[in-house]
Amino acid sequence: MLSEPTYLPARIVAPKIEAHFTAHQQASKGKNGDNVASPPQLEIIEAVIDIAFWASMRREEGRSPNISLALLQPSQSDKPLLFGEKLRLTPQNLIKLAPAVEQPGIHLGVWPDGDDLCIWGTTHSVPALCFVLEVVEPGLLVVKHRRVGGFGKYVNVAVLQGDQIKVLDENTMGIADCPQLIKSLQAMPLPAYMGESFNILVQLAASMRLHKRGGLVFIVPTGTDRWRDSIVQPVKYPVEPPYTAINDLMMSKASAADKLEWRESLLEAI
């Protein structure tokens, strides 16, 4: 059951955020064939903001979390990474998962499961008008959504910093006076040209090193589970079914014209 929010700004700003998403969802009907998310409910908005705020105030191994939460079902995402077991949306679970989703463009997928909100996995793709909450730094949250037909660009709905609330007017707002907002919207740079060779293990190692928490790549054969005997059980965050986006891209052959786009997609999948 969703608990009452203890972060007061979550309750104050939630009705305005709900009204924004509802109005945009109604305005988008019949305009195009975009996959449009359903507007989030008031109590869910309150709960997600409340949990994310308290998670932002915690530290794991001396580091504050940088997280992006997307409110959607796995079926609304393209090639999501699914956890073997859903995790309750709690501050503790968020800070434990934060190192895995710190790179830009990765979202933790959140959706109601019975009376609880649960984290079902991660995704790179979200539908238009999908509620996204970004934890930028301790106490600083940004609520946004992807534009309808907007080539992946986001509309910022609200910024919450401590007890301060800024509901953004998308028609008149300028970003010159919002350095923290600019920081939260910095896009991932395009990958540099990497020559004809692409070592997937090197790229995996580089990605793991970015979060500075350590890690281990375990290469195992397909068609057998005997490798599980080498791992302390139970595995806390299993991925089921296996995440195949990297393998699918490695098996595909990109033409010369599409090579840069293929490399961008591969780096994003990593």
205 part of a folded domain: yes
Residue 194, domain member (yes or no) = no
The yes-or-no verdict on residue 190 having pLDDT over 50 is: no
User: Does residue 113 fall inside a structural domain?
Assistant: yes
Last residue of a domain, one of 118, 150, 184: 184
On whether the pTM is more than 0.85, the answer is no
Residue 166 has pLDDT above 60, yes or no: yes
Does 22 fall in a domain? yes
Residue 192 lies in a domain: no
Q: Is residue 241 part of a domain?
A: yes
CA distance 84 to 69: 19
Q: Looking at per-residue confidence, does 170 or 154 come out higher?
A: 154
Q: Read off the pLDDT of residues 140-159 as tens digits, 9 standing for 90 and up.
A: 999 999 887 655 478 889 99
**Residue 79: its pLDDT value, please?**
86
More confident residue, 69 or 219: 69
Number of structural domains, the chain? 2
Residues 211 and 135 in one domain: no
Q: Is 145 among the domain residues?
A: yes
Model confidence band, residue 30 (pLDDT cutoffs 50, 70, 90): low
Nearest Cα to 126, choosing from 140, 115, 110? 110
pLDDT for residue 102: 82
The answer on 135 and 85 residing in a single domain is yes
Residue 58 · residue 97 · CB < 8 Å: no
Final residue of a structural domain among 184, 214, 242: 184
Q: pLDDT tens for residues 65-114?
A: 899 999 999 999 888 999 999 999 999 999 999 888 888 889 999 999 98
Q: Based on C-alpha coordinates, what's the Rg of the chain? A: 19
Whether the predicted pLDDT of 255 surpasses 70? no
Structure tokens that stand for 263 in this block: 């490399």
**95 and 121 fall within a common domain:** yes
Chosen domain end from 156, 184, 212: 184
pLDDT at 191: 41
List the structure tokens of 6. 């203890």
User: Do the domain assignments include residue 1?
Assistant: no
**Higher-confidence position of 132 and 176:** 132
Q: Is residue 167 scored above 80 in pLDDT?
A: yes
26 and 108 housed in the same domain: yes
pLDDT at 227 over 60: yes
| pLDDT number for residue 182 | 46
Q: Which two tokens stand for residue 223?
A: 């068609």
Nearest CA-CA partner of 124 in 246, 253, 237: 246
State the Cα torsion 217-220-224-226 to the nearest 10°: -70
For residue 262, the enclosing domain spans 200-269
Based on the domain organization, do 13 and 141 belong to the same domain? yes
Residue 193 has pLDDT above 70, yes or no: no
